[in-house]
Structure 1
Amino acid sequence: MGQTILETERLTLVPLRAEHTDAVVAVFAHQSMSTYIDIDFSVADNARKMVQRRLAYDGPPRMGHWAILHEGVVVGLGHLRPSWELPGDLPEIGWYLSPAYGGRGLATEAATAILRHGLDDLRLNSIWALVHTHNEPSLKLAARLGFLAVGTGVHYGAEHRVHVALPQPHRG
């Protein structure tokens, strides 16, 4: 079974495809998108290589990378895949939203959809998030989503807070 399209009230998260490349490169063109990343994705060639790496994903079915669409426009990128940084292929979530769409709750909406997909649909026993220790907006988002901060470590070339989300028991 292939990767699922995820829908929320305002967003559609579609599996990342080659035709999204230019739109994703445009999302990452703003210098602020590289503030907490050790590569400058405002350089179009760097952003294209990043998209190509994500397009080459060959992991567990129903996981991968999503283009985040708002009113049909690519406004961000999200993922749920085995971590490139944590041991044991732990499932890692990530989210990126164009600064032009910030402050509207769209990152929360997209990340919630990916998290719910992983915990509820895929029945993963944990989902991990690595958030740069100075990235206050994403640290706050991880807390809103219910992630527990469990430590820090050097990941993706800088110090990151390590978070985990666990399934919630169903009460009946």
Structure 2
Amino acid sequence: MTTPVLHTERLTFRPYRPEDEDVFVELLRDEEVCRWMGQERVPEADIRTLFRAILTEVYPKRRFDVWGLWQDDAFIGHAEVKKTGNVDGHELIAALAPPYWGRGLGTEVVRGLLRHAADNLGLKEAYGMVGADNAPSLAMCRRLGFRHVRDVTGDDGAVTKLLVISTTDPQ
């Protein structure tokens, strides 16, 4: 199955196209986005290599689903559903550009990913990894019905919350 285009009330989840490279790079070079995703800023060249791998490896080999998030004609973020190495299951990943924070779009993205996980992938549950310091994202996850599984401590000592939610009964 190829990565489908998804729609929510305000958003379109669209597989990346070659012309999306610059907005993808801009998002993943943003210091605030990197901080909340629990990763260091990496060189632009590495992000460009990652983007090209999405187009040449991920999509053709159907490794996992990955999208650019669009509100009308504006690129607002990134989303994925893929197997996670932390547990036997699939992880939901979402990153919004800072100008779009605090508008309920994160909740809309996660609900769209949950619907896709249930309807198109047949998953009964999905996982999320949220930094212990990311209070807004943790609050959103609680509102959606995610449950805490365990804390994961990285090599750098940073704590990430491993969360799980049923895809058949999301709030």
Provide the identity percentage: 27
Contact 2:14 2:69 in 1 (8 A): yes
How far, CA to CA, are the matches of 1:139 and 1:52 in structure 2?
A: 31
Query: Would the alpha carbon gap of residues 2 and 58 (structure 1) be closer, same or farther in structure 2, given more than 3 Å must change?
Result: closer
Aligned to 2:95: 96
Aligned to 2:13: 13
Aligned to 2:122: 123
Number of residue pairs matched by the alignment? 166
Aligned to 2:65: 64
Query: Would the alpha carbon gap of residues 53 and 130 (structure 1) be closer, same or farther in structure 2, given more than 3 Å must change?
Result: farther
Q: Which amino acid aligns with 2:167?
A: P
How far, CA to CA, are the matches of 1:74 and 1:27 in structure 2?
A: 9
Aligned to 2:110: 111
Q: Which amino acid aligns with 2:44?
A: A
The alignment status of 1:138 with 2:134, answered yes or no, reads: no
Q: Secondary structure at the match of 2:58?
A: coil
- Structure 1 range deviating more: 57-66 or 132-141: 57-66
Aligned to 1:31: 31
User: In the TM superposition, what whole-angstrom CA distance separates every residue of 1:45-66 from its partner, at most 9, and x where no partner exists?
Assistant: 3432443454432698594111
User: In the TM superposition, what whole-angstrom CA distance separates every residue of 1:119-163 from its partner, at most 9, and x where no partner exists?
Assistant: 233220221111111111221222222211111113596321011
The alignment's TM-score, normalised by the length of structure 2, stands at 0.83
Query: Would the alpha carbon gap of residues 144 and 156 (structure 1) be closer, same or farther in structure 2, given more than 3 Å must change?
Result: farther
User: In the TM superposition, what whole-angstrom CA distance separates every residue of 1:62-92 from its partner, at most 9, and x where no partner exists?
Assistant: 9411100011221100000111x3244x211
Q: Which amino acid aligns with 1:30?
A: D
Aligned to 1:74: 75
How far, CA to CA, are the matches of 1:48 and 1:147 in structure 2?
A: 33
Aligned to 1:166: 166
User: In the TM superposition, what whole-angstrom CA distance separates every residue of 1:73-117 from its partner, at most 9, and x where no partner exists?
Assistant: 21100000111x3244x2110100000111111111112101111
Query: Would the alpha carbon gap of residues 58 and 13 (structure 1) be closer, same or farther in structure 2, given more than 3 Å must change?
Result: closer
Aligned to 1:149: 148
Q: Secondary structure at the match of 1:28?
A: helix
